[in-house]
């Protein structure tokens, strides 16, 4: 199961849904924001709403936690997704101290804190270990054609989404 060391904050699922609705993001799926179309749409909405902050966060990504062995009803919709300015993939092992020691840029830290204040007030900005056992979830039946276009756009530009 892939695991990531991320620097960022938890974005509550309810706040993600509200953001999607208030900003009319038609191509976004609130339950799994790392899907290529959703990720592209959400990042664009953040660039439109907070251009100054996003200039300081060029590597901003979304990370989901998910355990495919959990078959409970609540497992399909985790309470949080993560908004991260630094993501380190832990293939077999990683020196956490080394990753954390690399730190983040001062302007990036400030921008991330301000973004957190806008999206998820009260959430902690810090280092997290996040596991996702199902990064390539299949599209739900009847997905929109716009999602297909955005998925192809992400593949063609080489954007990495975890």
* Mean pLDDT computed over 109-113: 96
| Whole-Å CA distances, 112 to 44, 58, 86 | 16, 11, 11
* Mean pLDDT computed over 125-137: 80
pLDDT for 158 equals 35
Parallel/antiparallel/unpaired status of strands 126-131 and 80-90 = unpaired
- Give the global pTM: 0.80
Nearest alpha-carbon partner for 159 in 61, 32, 83: 61
Tens-place pLDDT, residues 13-66 = 999 999 999 999 998 999 889 888 999 999 999 999 999 999 999 999 999 988
């Amino acid at each position: 199961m892939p695991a990531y060391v991320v620097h960022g904050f938890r974005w509550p699922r309810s706040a993600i849904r509200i953001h999607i609705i208030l900003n009319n993001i038609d191509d976004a799926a609130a339950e799994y924001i790392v899907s290529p179309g959703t990720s592209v749409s959400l990042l664009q909405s953040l660039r439109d709403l907070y251009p100054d902050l996003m200039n300081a966060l060029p590597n901003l990504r979304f990370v989901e936690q998910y355990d495919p062995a959990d078959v409970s009803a609540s497992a399909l919709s985790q309470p949080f997704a993560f908004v991260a300015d630094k993501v380190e993939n832990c293939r077999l092992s990683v020196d956490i101290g080394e990753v954390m020691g690399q730190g983040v840029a001062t302007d990036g830290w400030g921008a991330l804190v301000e973004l957190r204040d806008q999206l998820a007030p009260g959430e902690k900005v810090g280092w997290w270990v996040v596991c996702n056992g199902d990064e390539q979830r299949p599209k739900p039946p009847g997905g929109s054609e716009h999602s297909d276009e955005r998925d192809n756009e992400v593949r063609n530009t080489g954007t990495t989404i975890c």
